[in-house]
Chains A and B, each alone.
Chain A
Amino acid sequence: MAKDKESRQPGPSFGALAPVLALSWLIPGAGHLMLKRTGRGMLLLLAVTGMFACGLMMRGAMFQPESGDLLTTVINTGGFIGDIASGLLYLLSVWLGYNQPDTAGHVHDYGTKFLVTAGLLNVLAMVDAFEIAAGRKD
């Protein structure tokens, strides 16, 4: 136990990791690119952006936080968090007016799921970039 404590190296401070996290959130894969993981960064950029673009072209709806019964609150707030996790993609599409009203139909429904999943995949990419920056991963 004592040896473990002695051998454990102090990691970089949160101040050093914050730019990687912020960039990863804003532009999918950018954290990896910043850390010189070009191949991985490009793949993440293509996959997350591709998924988000497909969701937009399927006319998927974007969630807004709503209060009401428990299920409504959980679904809408969770969906909103998933949407906003896409970073600049979400901010730009809302700013440019691409957020669609929720309409019936399986394609729209898939589109909504694509938009949320793109954000959730970006969260995974952010965690990966954080671990690389913190030295916990190669």
Chain B
Amino acid sequence: MPKMNLTHFEAAFLFSLFTSVVLGVVTKRTDRDWLHYGLYVFVCFFVALFGLGWLMYLGHG
């Protein structure tokens, strides 16, 4: 089996992508709604990712 060597960012990107798809599909009823919600969750993941990244960077000094 091939080995994946991902950076933190790539791993977080994949995690956000897969999770957003499933959360969108299972929580909303219409295709349009789940697409919107999936995108919203994906953006939320990224805001949290960059927010926490900056917080750790600034907190570290």
State the A residues within 8 Å of B (CB): 39-40, 43-44, 46-48, 50-51, 54, 56-59, 98, 106-107, 110-111, 113-114, 117-118, 121, 124-125, 127-128, 137-138
Q: Which of B2, B11, B21, B31 lies in contact with A107, CB distance below 8 A?
A: B11
A contact patch SS: helix
Residue of chain B at shortest CB distance from A109: B11
Contacts of B31 in A (CB 8 A): 39
> Known contacts A57-B3, A98-B1; is A43 also within 8 Å of B21 by CB?
yes
State the B residues within 8 Å of A (CB): 1-6, 8, 11, 14-15, 18-19, 21-23, 25-26, 29, 31
Contacts of A56 in B (CB 8 A): 1
> Known contacts A110-B11, A137-B29, A138-B29; is A121 also within 8 Å of B18 by CB?
yes
Contacts of A110 in B (CB 8 A): 6, 8, 11, 15
Contacts of B5 in A (CB 8 A): 107
B35–chain A nearest beta-carbon distance, Å: 11
Contacts of B18 in A (CB 8 A): 47-48, 50-51, 54, 117-118, 121
B contact patch SS: helix
Q: Are A54 and B4 in contact (CB under 8 A)?
A: yes
**Can you add 16 more A-B contacts, CB < 8 Å, to A44-B22, A110-B11, A114-B15?**
A44-B21, A44-B25, A44-B26, A48-B18, A48-B22, A54-B4, A57-B3, A57-B4, A58-B11, A98-B1, A107-B5, A107-B11, A114-B11, A117-B19, A124-B26, A137-B29
Contacts of A46 in B (CB 8 A): 21
B12–chain A nearest beta-carbon distance, Å: 8
Contacts of A43 in B (CB 8 A): 21-22, 25
> Known contacts A57-B2, A57-B3, A107-B4; is A128 also within 8 Å of B15 by CB?
no
